[in-house]
Amino acid sequence: MATIGTSRPQQPAVAQVDPAVLAELIRLALTARSKTPDVVASPDILNSRLDFLRESIGDGQDSRIAFERIIGGDELQPIAYLERGVIAARAVARMDLGSQGFGTGFLISPRVLITNNHVLPDPTVAARARAQFRYELDLADTELPPINYRLLPNELFHTRQDLDYTVVAVEAVSQESATPLSDFGCLPLVEATGKISEGEWLTVIQHPDGGRKQICVRENRFIKRAENFIWYTTDTKPGSSGSPVFNNDWFVVALHRAGVPDEVNGVIQKNPDGSTKWVGNEGVRVSRIVQTLKEAHPSHPLLRPLYAVTPATARITTPRPPPPIVTPPIVTPPREVCMSDIRTVSVPLEIKLQVRSDGSVAPVSVTAGGATESTAATGVVFIEKSKKPGARFDAPFDEDYSKRKGFDPDFLGTGALAVGLPVMGDAVEAVAAPLLKPRNGNKFALDYHNFSVVMHRVRRLPIYSAANVSFGSRFDMSRPTDVWRRDPRILAEYQLENWYYASNQFDRGHMTRREDLEFGSSPKAALASAADTCHWTNCVPQHSRFNQNKEIWQGIERYVLEQSILEGEVNAQIITGPILDDGDPEYRKVKYPLQFWKVVAAVTPKKKLFATAYVAGQEEVIAQFGIEVTEVPFGAYKTFQTKIAEIERLTGLTFVCGANGKARLRDFDPLEQATAGRRRRRVQPQEATGRLMPEAYYEISELEDIQL
């Protein structure tokens, strides 16, 4: 029985084996290096090897040819061997244990990583560790920065000291870079035996000495097996503990755990240079790992994908690109334009002029792209193809973000009428995207003209967008083309940009609406305010049917003002955002929200603060019509009024008001008052969102249903 010497993972891990086994390993290491499997492997082992090849490749000539090549010791490999190795290497990570050193680990299921018990002995160590993927050199020998992932032992942690392995859950998306873990694939462990026969070559992908990812492809022969372990001559170093050991088809056959030193009478032998004299290396058999995992966690949801693998499904293949999808032309509602969407098109233009008797020149007709229109007597040109032309100018944009004041808490009034930015709970603040240069104590809020946004660094979507809205000081102007911009004040990787919205039903849905911010002291100021809403930080994926048909959702602000505020008092504060649920569905490796919330604060004719809250969802729309491009009819979707307290529960935010933000905005919510006002049907929890919700959800079928 093998055991392992105590050492930090970065130090040499030493396997202590029975003297009889050690003697045989020394003999095999010397004699089996040059012998092929057909000489050193037993007939039963060779038959098992052939059976596995048939299961993984197919019961045909290919498996027989591969078998003959393997047992004959043929070192020639198809060129796809290298490509499969590159794919396999993606799933291997360096384990950063902080002051405890380094190790290696690899993904065996979409969110499950395996390494040694002596690398991650308990959940406390795991919670502090990080799995670092892509810690390697590229083709230009450039050192790539690692992509870090937290381990989540509270979701899954299982360890076996006798078999020296630990499996642990990993977060699905890197909090630091927002990179999905699925980008790295996984190396499923196959329980079936027959993956290797004595005399075959093995390969280990590893992080030796805690350094960049490396591979050993020479002097790596499999020499002996036991019930729980195998031994091989592959070169490894300290820090390689937890590496995958592969056969020539890139199936994982063992979890590397330790080196086996040469011993004489219990004394480890040394080389002339003083280094340890190693006989070989020891790994834990994959079949035993899977067997013991099934016994301990037979139905764990994170391990089910592992239990379902077969030799055929676990074999690494490179899928061919899908054939192009040909679809008929589709007429869809006009969408806002991003900079990358703009294309230059040359259109033939012909203008016929008339020279008047006084010498002046007047246009008679204009032909653009084949459409001819006559001019009026005044000489003004109209082209029928654009009955409602956009503005003849672009919205002014100032690159100096320091001039933007952001959300004004005193917009409705000072003291008791002040409404502050939402306060983030500890869990929310932990995932908020930090400013590259915090200013005046502000670490997270991105200030724009008349509104502020805080971003979620993992989801790459706003946590909230809080705006001052005035329905006075508005200017009736044509709308310039929307130009979407990246905000340079936070990392680009925290912002979801135009690639996500291309060729599907997702619109770039404003959180703070452009229409709400078309106000200011001058037309130029109003345009600058509105243009600021076209930042990716103020944008959320919304199904076109949801985004472009918001009669109720967009009318809430106006209704609140028109029904409850004195003439001339046309200000409100609107805070809105997506409900970012861990169970949200995924598209293009990014989760998108199904529900959205809105809190509207205003002042009554008696100068009293009040606030109401609302929820609307696109879940039913997406379930019915999907995300991929297709013609989608317009129709109603459900909007609900609910309590501000419910929005706080769903988002982890606290809505504050009053001097210094010491009061709770929920205390000014009509739904919290004793009198219920007009009666209406209360929606059942599942009817509102498909999730369990508190009772206070009231469907709004028309704006008059809103309770103020």
Mean pLDDT of 649-661: 92
Chain segment 348-357, per-residue pLDDT in tens = 545 454 444 4
**Percent of all residues in the chain with a pLDDT value above 90, rounded to a whole number:** 34
Average pLDDT over every residue of 613-623: 76
* pLDDT given for residue 344 in this prediction: 40
Q: Are 582 and 611 in contact (CB under 8 A)?
A: no
- Are the C-beta atoms of residues 304 and 296 closer than 8 Å to each other? no
Say how many C-beta atoms besides its own lie within 10 A of residue 226's C-beta.
15
Residue 410 has pLDDT above 70, yes or no: yes
Residue 409: helix, strand or coil by DSSP? coil
Please choose, from the candidates 700, 643, 688, the residue with its C-alpha nearest in 3D space to the C-alpha of residue 670. Answer: 643
Cα–Cα distance, 463 to 439 (Å, whole number):
20
Mean pLDDT rounded to a whole number for the chain: 78
From 91, 188, 186, 102, select the one nearest 147 (Cα to Cα).
91
Question: Can you tell me the distance from the alpha carbon of 180 to that of 597, in angstroms, rounded to the nearest whole number?
Answer: 26
**Structure confidence at residue 621 (pLDDT):** 65
* Confidence band of 190 (pLDDT split at 50, 70, 90): very high
Nearest Cα to 281, choosing from 212, 186, 206, 187?
Answer: 206
pLDDT at 223 over 90: no
Report field, pTM of the whole predicted structure over 0.85: no
Q: Which residue has the higher pLDDT, 121 or 39?
A: 121
Distance, CA of 460 to CA of 617 (rounded, Å): 19
Q: How far is CA 226 from the centre of its chain?
A: 42
SS3 45: helix
Domains, the chain: 3-314 (2.40.10.120), 345-386 (no CATH), 403-705 (3.40.570.10)
